A and B are shown apart, each in its own frame.
Chain A
Amino acid sequence: MNKRLFLCFGILLVLTFNVQVLAQEETVVTNEQEALRTVPKDYAENYAFDDPEKRKSFLELTKNLRCPKCQNQNIADSNAMIAHDMRRKVYQMLKDGKSEEQVIAFMKGRYNDFVYYKPPVNAFTIWLWVLPVLFVVLMLGIFLMRRKTVDDENSDEKIAQAEALLKDE
């Protein structure tokens, strides 16, 4: 009789403890949900597009725009705050119906040509394309010229020499 009472009491104790733990877990979950709910929707890093074309533009732009803070990363790759802000801005601008060119112009207006991985062609940057071609042409010219002179200078003389040697033998 005494044993039974003890068992009952024990089970009751375990049950109440379990209920308490469950209750606590539940409150934790609701707190988290509340925290998420307070995050403004377009503020969280969740860039959804209805239009697949715009989505393509977004991916293209974040790939080709360069993070001004971290030098060798694009804004899709970088985790710097400025890259976050720029992604958000690109998203907003595309959502507002701006074209890719307009977004690039917007960023260039603030961060110069540095911000876009494709450099513009102007009097200063044209050398990037011209110099390698010039170099190849120059080297080819030198190579051809030298080969010709070698042929002209030596061949006749050498054949004569060789023949003279052959005759001696």
Chain B
Amino acid sequence: MKKLAWFLVPLVLFLMLSVFLFLGLFSDPTQRESAMLENKFPDFQLPDLMQENIIYDNSVFQGQMTLVNVWGVWCVTCAIELPYLTELSQQGYRFVGLYYDQDLDPDFGTKTVNRVRTEVTETLGRFGNPFEFNIFDVYRDTSLDLGVTGAPETFLVDHKGVIRVHHLGDINPRVWRNKFMPEIEKINVERGISDTQKGLEQ
């Protein structure tokens, strides 16, 4: 009996350690719980990327489910996800861009706003334009308030302006199906939209 215990105890400990380390192989070190979930979208007042005299605030989220995509022309992954986002926007989902550019920042280099605008138009022309409009986060304050760590990141904001999903990295069909669709269906149920088959905005 005692002999069996001396054999089993190390074996069990070893197996537990193996399972722990094995699971570690498949864990994503960049994955983190967002601090933003179920919070209201932080207050902001920012200009349109293309026309600085248009100023947006939180009222843009009222009454509509919106996907806020944080992006920039300098971001390679953003360019990769643009065609898919465009496809989704054609299905009726509303996308709003939250744009920031590090090259406008004197810490990194200087680029004029006009040059940025040209590049944005060019990029969207080439890869597709899913955005209803782009909010220009000039000093990246709103990105900081949102807990953004880089680009691309996407937020699902419901019709009351509450953040429901915070996704780091690109959106692809798998992420859309597993991460966004369940929450979109929940929002549609809350709003009392019975036709949830596609979760489309009416």
The contact of B140 among A39, A85, A112, by CB within 8 Å, is: A85
Interface stretch (choices A53-61, A103-111, A120-128) = A103-111
Once A35-B110, A44-B107, A71-B30 are accepted as A-B contacts, the answer to whether A109 and B35 lie under 8 Å apart by CB is yes
A82 interface contact, C-beta 8 A:
yes
> Quick one: closest B residue to A68, CB to CB?
B149
Indicate if the CB atoms of B108 and A81 lie closer than 8 Å: yes
> Quick one: closest B residue to A39, CB to CB?
B106
Indicate if the CB atoms of A69 and B144 lie closer than 8 Å: no
**Which bucket holds chain A's interface residue count?**
20 to 34
The contact of A110 among B29, B102, B105, B145, by CB within 8 Å, is: B145
Contacts of B108 in A (CB 8 A): 81
- Residues 126 to 165 of chain B near chain A (Cβ within 8 Å): 140, 143-150
Indicate if the CB atoms of A110 and B150 lie closer than 8 Å: no
State the majority secondary structure of interface residues on B.
loop
B32, B35, B140, B143 — which one has the most chain A CB atoms within 10 A of its CB? Answer: B35
Once A35-B110, A44-B107 are accepted as A-B contacts, the answer to whether A89 and B144 lie under 8 Å apart by CB is yes
Indicate if the CB atoms of B107 and A86 lie closer than 8 Å: no
Contacts of B110 in A (CB 8 A): 35
Distance of A37 from chain B, by nearest CB (Å): 11
Contacts of A111 in B (CB 8 A): 35, 147, 149
Indicate if the CB atoms of A110 and B146 lie closer than 8 Å: yes
Indicate if the CB atoms of A108 and B140 lie closer than 8 Å: no
Contacts of B149 in A (CB 8 A): 68-69, 82, 111
B52 interface contact, C-beta 8 A:
no
Contacts of B102 in A (CB 8 A): 81
> Quick one: closest A residue to B36, CB to CB?
A110
Interface string of B107-122 (1 = CB under 8 A from A): 1101000000000000
Q: List 29 A-B contacts (CB under 8 A).
A: A35-B110, A40-B106, A43-B106, A44-B107, A45-B107, A68-B32, A68-B149, A69-B150, A71-B30, A80-B150, A81-B108, A81-B140, A82-B148, A82-B149, A82-B150, A84-B105, A84-B107, A85-B140, A89-B144, A108-B35, A109-B35, A110-B35, A110-B144, A110-B146, A110-B147, A111-B35, A111-B149, A112-B34, A112-B35
Q: Given A68-B147, A110-B145, list of 5 further CB < 8 A pairs? A: A85-B144, A111-B147, A112-B33, A112-B34, A114-B32
B-binding residues in A (CB < 8 A): 35, 39-40, 43-45, 68-69, 71, 80-82, 84-86, 89, 108-112, 114
A-binding residues in B (CB < 8 A): 29-30, 32-36, 102, 105-108, 110, 140, 143-150
